[in-house]
């Protein structure tokens, strides 16, 4: 393989790695009260709107409108379930120490990255995407249970919605973009890298160097 080909394959790993780091940075911003409920709501809405638009433009599935309508009803049901379970999630890990939560979150994030499907065209016969997604959602629930905020129930809901967008819907859209246009793929990777870098720069320079 040529260096350019290997570099292109590595960009898919960097892209998803940036998503995971971005997710942790948002959590840290929430813990340090650097962002608010409304900012998180706007972020979720922006990511959802851009993702749906990209899916509608790049997907070749017939009857895309009907498909998105069905998925939107599933999304509404998910929000209702999250609203009912958010108070439970808040008290889920009260008996655990902060170090234990962070150790578990890092461990399951590594599991998520290890089992994620990075291929842009085929499903891997060796790894299950369900393992990766379940590890990511478990990490999100662990972290959400430590969020204490004036709008804590809403914050928990929006934070888990962010996890679903970042680790379930975004990989689908990113794969469609990669298959349709290499230039758009690189533009998306660059945008993610710049956004994550900017947030880390304001959070901690040592974390930025590590990233």
Q: Cα dihedral sign for 13, 29, 195, 50? A: positive
Pairwise CA distance, residues 37 & 147, whole Å:
12
Q: How many CB atoms lie within 10 A of CB 191?
A: 11
Residue 75's pLDDT is what? 86
Residue 8's pLDDT is what? 79
37's CB contacts (< 8 A; 6+ apart) are 149, 150, 151, 154, 155, 158
Reply yes or no on whether the pLDDT at 92 is more than 50: yes
Residue 91's pLDDT is what? 82
Residue 125: pLDDT band with limits 50, 70, 90:
very low
> For 14-62, how does the pLDDT look when each residue is reduced to its tens digit (9 = 90+)?
999 999 999 999 999 999 888 888 999 999 999 999 988 888 888 877 8
Q: Which two tokens stand for residue 96?
A: 């655990």
Q: How far apart are the first and last CA of the chain?
A: 27
Q: Cα dihedral sign for 89, 95, 97, 100? A: negative
Residue 124: pLDDT band with limits 50, 70, 90:
very low
Pairwise CA distance, residues 91 & 97, whole Å:
13
Q: Which two tokens stand for residue 32?
A: 């340090």
Pairwise CA distance, residues 3 & 156, whole Å:
43
Q: What is the 3-state secondary structure (H, E, C) of 30-81?
A: HHCCCCCHHHHHHHHHHHHHHHHHHHHHHCCCCCHHHHHHHHHHHHHHHHHH
Region for residue 9 given its phi and psi (left: phi exceeds 0; alpha: psi -120 to 50; beta: otherwise): alpha
């Amino acid at each position: 393989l040529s260096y350019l080909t290997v570099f292109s394959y590595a960009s898919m790993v960097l892209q998803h790695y940036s998503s995971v780091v971005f997710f942790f940075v948002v959590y840290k911003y929430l813990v340090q009260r650097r962002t608010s409920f409304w900012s998180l709501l706007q972020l979720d809405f922006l990511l959802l709107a851009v993702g749906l638009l990209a899916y509608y433009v790049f997907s070749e599935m017939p009857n895309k409108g009907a498909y998105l309508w069905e998925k939107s009803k599933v999304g509404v049901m998910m929000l209702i379930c999250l609203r009912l379970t958010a108070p439970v999630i808040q008290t889920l890990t009260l008996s655990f120490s902060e170090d234990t939560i962070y150790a578990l979150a890092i461990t399951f994030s590594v599991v998520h990255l290890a089992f994620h499907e990075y291929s842009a065209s085929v499903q891997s016969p060796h790894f299950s995407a369900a393992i990766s997604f379940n590890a990511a959602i478990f990490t999100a629930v662990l972290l959400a249970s430590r969020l204490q905020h004036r709008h804590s129930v809403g914050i928990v809901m929006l934070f888990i919605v962010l996890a679903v967008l970042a680790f379930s819907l975004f990989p689908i859209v990113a794969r469609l973009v990669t298959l349709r246009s290499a230039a758009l793929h690189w533009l998306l990777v660059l945008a993610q890298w710049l956004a994550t870098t900017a947030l880390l720069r304001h959070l901690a320079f040592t974390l930025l160097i590590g990233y």
